[in-house]
Structure 1
């Protein structure tokens, strides 16, 4: 290396006086401006960049994401969008599935209670790390559009997660804990066989395990003579109801709504064949509810409900109206609409009972009478009515009587109840019956096809055998009146006995023959006509027509006296 290349001057060491005092060293030249920044004192708390890089390199993947040290692309799209969003949907979906389907409720509840804290922690890690990465991205002059879009979507994800926890999980923690212990917080249905083993009744909420319980009962020895499953339930677990429906269809069992059968209970009812509904029965439909505030899962649950209803034969118009009915309300379908869609058998229009097969037993006649709304209502008002009539019908059937003669056996027990029915009703229903009797007499007054001569007078004299000659419409009106009276409530106060003054007023205004004019209508013990009594019904019909023009109070009194024997 030459002296020109060496910046320090060359000094010959042999010419230097080592005993002479040394000169002061020349000061170092001023460093260039670009070199001065490296010599400035570093502010307190700031660590060297190299140390920071080393420490960041030593952190794991989870820690780097948590501190926002990853790129926004990886933190948001990979760690948050591909992890946090599916997990939030998984939580909501699991809660929805438990509330709607109910498969393996105990295992599902245990899994939810165990995994929920872990999933929440993972969601928190995803959202916080992505938020910090977005902040660093904006601090480093990244695109404001992408940075704030990321923050907005993260805020929405946080709200969705909080909604799932606050409105979905926390209010149901107690229920999940009960289900994890094998206890359904909704409760369970109560099953009971009738004394003769022909009916299995389901009462109460349909809960966890009820589908399997019903299947085992239907396959048990106790159900050997079972004819129907009677339902009175407000609903419950949809999945359990689907299992019950499958059990009924597999056995080909009949179903009968004996009370309110609503929500999930309707699935069980529709699975029966044939289907019946008693006078007190009713069917209620509404949308399915998942218990969450996620409209996506609500829609999925109701699509599944619509599919199940379609498989069970529910008409599409009824499905559409069901899905339009909010889950917090109920649509009770009118009986006429159920009949029009052939979902239930129509009620017999008259007092005639659909007779069972030739080898019918007493229980078969008893079933047929209980399925008739009029006889069912009369039996509830006067217990033992159905048993008495069933024995009479069976005896006539075994004696080889014709169908008309078997049907006629129901009239004698009814005749014994008519005085109490007429005396224990209100003025409105009594007035309806007087109008009905007037129409019956007019229909039998003129001889016609199928009507014997003198049938009108025979009806007034209490000959029950003439009643089948009445027109079908009038028989149906009488059956409806009997049902209304039997299902009605008894008056709180019985009317006072008629005094002599009231009788005198009636005799002068209406006529002396009004009292007791219809007292023999249901005597079932006809006697010879009294002397002086016309064989024609015209005077009676005219009297009933005159009553319509009387003041309401006087007319009500007269109509009450029509059925009381004259003194």
Structure 2
């Protein structure tokens, strides 16, 4: 048996490359990774096979694995896998270029010993150096994206925490919060607790695209209706569109924008994530023009189509008057919780400060409705009806500026209801029992203006010291306003026999014309007429 040292070629004592001690001669390794790392392979093999081809394969594999995980695993798992793949890729790249560089060094040494000149080792080292600069730059640029993936891997979610609970009347399930990991499972569990539920009420700012698609699968599987009372945006829209019956309250906001991957820049170009969303929108029957508009909306913006655009583009399938489900009864489970909710609105906070007895009665009335699982529409109508009693009592004693602002707002509200339903317009202007339900259908902007005006009225009105104008005092001014109207509208307004026989559309128009006519009077007569219109109202106990 021949010794290993005897198998080595002899070296001349003067050879500078000769080892000082024959025992230090490196033994060839059978380990592929170790041999490449030492530069034992040929430069051609090291550069083209181990570096170029292997790096291309790793990139293709990582892209495929990342894509598969993004569509088939929770965000936390997908980000964890991406980080592992990225780190392994960097380690492999370092291993590949270091081994190739050493192989080039060896080939240069052999060429010098043989007295040969070859540019190939120099070119290979130059390409490695340039590649190292490019790779380092990419790694530095990837730091923000990697940090985002690290936060996701550690448990950070795309949106606010969600809650999924059956509503108290059992007719629907309330989904509140982000489309985060586990949302679909939570919806499935809530449906098991509410076997009679036929709808899901969505209140979500969005979240993970994959989770939104999973929630949509649950909705389709259970044949649920989808309903939006307040807002549903981004990934929530996928869940909303999963139903055949889709409705939104008049003041609901449904928002769309282009998605982006974790850590991607704001100017991300469309990719696989986007394609999944577009397929979902196309499957829901959305027009191409609408989808293109969404594609043109950057991730850091949100497009909220109008109610008519939502209807025209088949986002919603039916018009809802609002308040279809018992959401308030589900969320406000104690009288204190209801009081806190009311106090969060400036109007009711002002009411409590100045008229605590009225606020307490309002609270009692609404709480009784919530205890019997009343729907939101009934609750909002009660709020408006009870508040309107105080409103009508205060308005005759308000400063002229608030009096005129109230008249103008009333006209705009009546015109908004006229477009929805002439019956609602008449009920609102006549102050009938259905006035509260009609007011609940007003656009959000008008409701906000009304609450602001009411809050100002609570502060400025002085029913204890300002005398109320009687109907008799206001009659001449009211007659002037009526006289300016066409004869038919005068008859509709003044003849009691026509009050209940005139078609709602005609009576609504006459009442709006009368309000316009009052505002056209000189300022003194205008104030007198408006105050007189509320002369029969009496203030509740305050």
TM-score (structure 2 length as normaliser): 0.61
Question: Per-residue deviation at 1:59?
Answer: 7.1
Question: Per-residue deviation at 1:196?
Answer: 1.2
Gaps of 5+ in 1: 1-38, 355-365, 371-379, 392-410, 441-457, 468-475, 519-525, 530-537
Q: Where does residue 226 of structure 2 map in the other structure?
A: 255
Is 1:323–2:300 an aligned residue pair?
Answer: no
Structure whose alpha-carbon radius of gyration is higher: 1
Query: Counterparts in 2 of 1:449-488, with a 5 A limit?
Result: 480=442, 484-485=446-447, 488=450
Task: Flag the 1:178–1:543 CA change in 2: closer, same or farther, 3 A.
Answer: closer
Q: Where does residue 58 of structure 2 map in the other structure?
A: 87
Is 1:278–2:218 an aligned residue pair?
Answer: no
Taking the aligned partners of 2:28 and 2:535, their CA distance within structure 1 comes to 107
Taking the aligned partners of 1:89 and 1:253, their CA distance within structure 2 comes to 41
Q: Helix, strand or coil: the match of 1:331?
A: coil
Task: Flag the 1:59–1:279 CA change in 2: closer, same or farther, 3 A.
Answer: same
Residue by residue over 1:183-202, the C-alpha shift from the partner in whole angstroms, topping out at 9 and shown as x without a partner, is x6866521111111001000
Question: Per-residue deviation at 1:317?
Answer: 1.9
Q: Which moved more, 1:337-346 or 1:243-252?
A: 337-346
Question: Per-residue deviation at 1:267?
Answer: 0.7
Q: Where does residue 123 of structure 1 map in the other structure?
A: 93
CA contact (8 A) 1:431 1:559 kept: no
Task: Flag the 1:97–1:430 CA change in 2: closer, same or farther, 3 A.
Answer: farther
CA RMSD of aligned residues (A): 5.6
Q: Where does residue 172 of structure 1 map in the other structure?
A: 149
CA contact (8 A) 1:96 1:292 kept: no
Higher helix proportion (structure 1 or 2): 2
Question: Per-residue deviation at 1:141?
Answer: 3.0
Taking the aligned partners of 2:180 and 2:413, their CA distance within structure 1 comes to 49
Q: Of residues 174, 184, 200 in structure 2, which corresponds to 1:211?
A: 184
Residue by residue over 1:141-176, the C-alpha shift from the partner in whole angstroms, topping out at 9 and shown as x without a partner, is 325666644543453244334544x23334433432
Query: Counterparts in 2 of 1:385-464, with a 5 A limit?
Result: 420=390, 427-433=404-410
TM-score (structure 1 length as normaliser): 0.59
Task: Flag the 1:481–1:264 CA change in 2: closer, same or farther, 3 A.
Answer: closer
Question: Per-residue deviation at 1:302?
Answer: 1.0
Q: Of residues 228, 234, 237 in structure 2, which corresponds to 1:266?
A: 237
Q: Of residues 283, 297, 300 in structure 2, which corresponds to 1:311?
A: 283
Taking the aligned partners of 2:537 and 2:210, their CA distance within structure 1 comes to 65
Task: Flag the 1:262–1:82 CA change in 2: closer, same or farther, 3 A.
Answer: same
Q: Helix, strand or coil: the match of 1:259?
A: strand
Gaps of 5+ in 2: 1-10, 110-116, 328-344, 349-361, 373-380, 396-401, 418-425, 483-494, 499-509
Q: Of residues 311, 336, 354 in structure 2, which corresponds to 1:339?
A: 311
Taking the aligned partners of 2:413 and 2:186, their CA distance within structure 1 comes to 51
Taking the aligned partners of 2:195 and 2:12, their CA distance within structure 1 comes to 99
CA contact (8 A) 1:254 1:274 kept: yes
CA contact (8 A) 2:179 2:206 kept: yes
